[in-house]
Each structure stands twice: as structure tokens, then as C-alpha cells.
Amino acid sequence: MAQIVKRAFKFRFYPTPEQADELARTFGCVRLVYNKALQERTRAYRSEGRKVSYVESSAALTEWKRTEELDFLAEVSSVPLQQALRHLQTAFANFFAQRAGYPAFKSRKKSRLSAEYTRSAFRYHDGRLTLAKMDAPLNIVWSRPLPEGADPSTVTVSKDAAGRWSVSILCEDTVRPLDPTSDMVGVDAGITALVTLSRPIPGVTDDDGKVTNPRHERADRRRLARAQRIPARKEKGSANRDRARVKVARVHARITDRRRDVLHKLTTAIVRENQVVVIEDLTVRNLVKNHSLARAISDASWRQMRTMLEYKAQWYGRELLVVDRWFPSSKLCSACGTLQRFMPLNVRDWVCACGVVHDRDVNAAKNILAAGLAER
């Protein structure tokens, strides 16, 4: 049965100089409002022991606009400023629920530049998107069509460190489940192989069910190091240093884009070909504390892969099962169930007492599948 989901469609766009200036002012005002509201909330809690609500922050924003010092806040659309306060409210809610750390101030150089517009602050008609305070629509590169009859509810405009402008359009989309299949698969995440599956998928894995890790960061490490050395030779605060910093950001963006593309294609193939997908509950936050493996683990991006599997399985009517992180998938013989006492990381092949020869990763994937089905 088809389901309606909220889905964001992201596109590149190229603003006119006037639009770029307007958006730059908006980004700056959004950052200022967020930081000022955070400062006031922190002060109120530390000095008075009280929590400041969103309503109070919104009223304070109105007062700030009336002051001579901050009257420029009234020159940009009010909606992105209100959305910044809502995001701060969400950040505090997550903090008090112990889902996240204390909200941090937005940095002028390090924070992502973005502004969120709701329905009252933009117009969308026949593929033309016009934001508040702008006379002309954005020059968007429509790399794919929006759903038929799309009625966007939120538009987020952003500019990354590499200088690329993007617009993310949130709207409802109808997702139809894939045809049911009897196939099931266990997924073992790794470093040498990005993933090893309990059964091979033609055109996706090799004959053993392994997907080679492209190691995008390592492939571009020399280029990245060369780009990172250039800013160090430029004068601090100079335009040359800023241009050199953009070149570094472009290398990072290239790595990120290629990694995301590989993960999207891989997770889509896994979900398309299997009714049940079983993965391990890996705690990446703890794993990256191993400084010998942190760089490789981050490059593999296991957390992002799991996120993609979760929402794609939900969309397309598949079942995603998660096995406990302490399950000894590598030490257990998938043939007879014998548990090995020791299994160092450098052991990639081993022979069980029952005589079966195991590839460490393939055996782990089979055990993950069996454990997930047993807990189902």
C-alpha cells in the first residue's frame, strides 16, 4: 500500500548578485538571533535558575528589532529568524531529554550558512521559486522533477564552505512499496570491505558478497594535504587565505559527495533485493576513539549507511533488524555454532573444529542474519 511521506529534494542554484547579498544578510541575521537567544537563555538559567521559552525568545526578538543597535534585523524576512528560535528550542528540548549536548554558539566561519523559509515566506508556481524580499525567482538547476502537484511546506537555502548554493524543498511524496521477496541478508560493516553480505548480489558485490571500500578520503589524501598547506602560507585575514580555504573545502566536498553517492547506490540495492535486512548496532562514537582506526571508520561512514537503510526500508516495505553490538558474530561458527575464545583482528580466515573454513567477514554476516531472525 502506498504511503505519503515528507521528503526533501535538494538542488543547486545560482543566485544573482542581489539575491546573494540578500541571502548573506539573512544568514548573518539568523546566526545573530540564534546566538543572542542562546546567550539570554544561558544567562537566565545561570543567574535566575529559570528556563526561557520560545514565546519569550520570540517576544525578545520583536524588542531587538526596535532598538537602534539591531534595527537591521527588520530588513530581512522575519520567518528565517523565527525558525532559528524554533531550532534553538528543539536543541534545548534534546539537551534536557539527554539526547544531545548543550547547544553551541554558531561560528561565523565554521557553522553552516542556512536559512529556513516556511509557506508564508516563499512562492512556488510552475517550477519557479521566489523567496521573501526577492523580486525574481531563484535560478535552480532542476536535476530531477518534484512530485506531481508538489506543494512545498518548507524551503531551506544554504551555502557550503566550498561556495556552492543549495535549496532543499520539503514536500509530500507518494512512495510505493516494492514487490515482496523471500530473500534475506545479513550485513557486516567493515574497513577492508565496506560491507560483506551473507549472500552476494549480482552487480553489487563480488562472488563472496563483499563490496570493496572505495576509501574516498584516502584516495584524495594527498590532494587534501596539498590544499591544506596553502592557507598556512597566506597572511591571516587576507583574501588569498580565504580563497585557499575555499579550495580545501572543495576537496572535502568532493570526498563527501562521492561517499554519499556510493552509499545511496549500495543501500538502495540492498533494500531492493531483500525483504529482511539485518545489521549490527555499531557504536561509531566509541569506535572512533581508537586513533588507529578512527580515520578509516569515519571514511566508511557506517552511521550514514545505517540511516539510509532505516528510512529506505520504511519507505519500501522492507524489514530492518538490528543485532546487539556485543553479539560475537566473528567468533561464532555459522555452521556448527562453536564459539572461538580468541579472534584477533588480523585473523581474516580460520578453520573451525568441525572442519569448515571461514572467511571472517562472510561468517560474521551469516551469523548476523541468523541472530536477527532468531530475535524477530
Residues with active-site annotation:
188, 280, 361
Give the Cβ contact number of residue 192 at 10 Å: 13
Cα-to-chain-centroid distance, residue 23: 23
Per the CB < 8 A criterion, the answer to whether 304 and 359 are in contact is: no
CA distance to 28, 362, 365, per residue, from 350 (Å): 58, 12, 15
Query: How many angstroms separate the CA atoms of 342 and 262, rounded?
Result: 34
What CA–CA distances, in Å, run from 297 to 204, 218, 327?
21, 12, 20
Among the listed residues 260, 255, 361, 364, the one whose alpha carbon sits nearest the alpha carbon of residue 303: 260
Residue 136, SS3?
coil
**What's 116's DSSP letter?**
E
Question: Which regions of 203-272 does DSSP assign to beta strands (E)?
Answer: 210-212
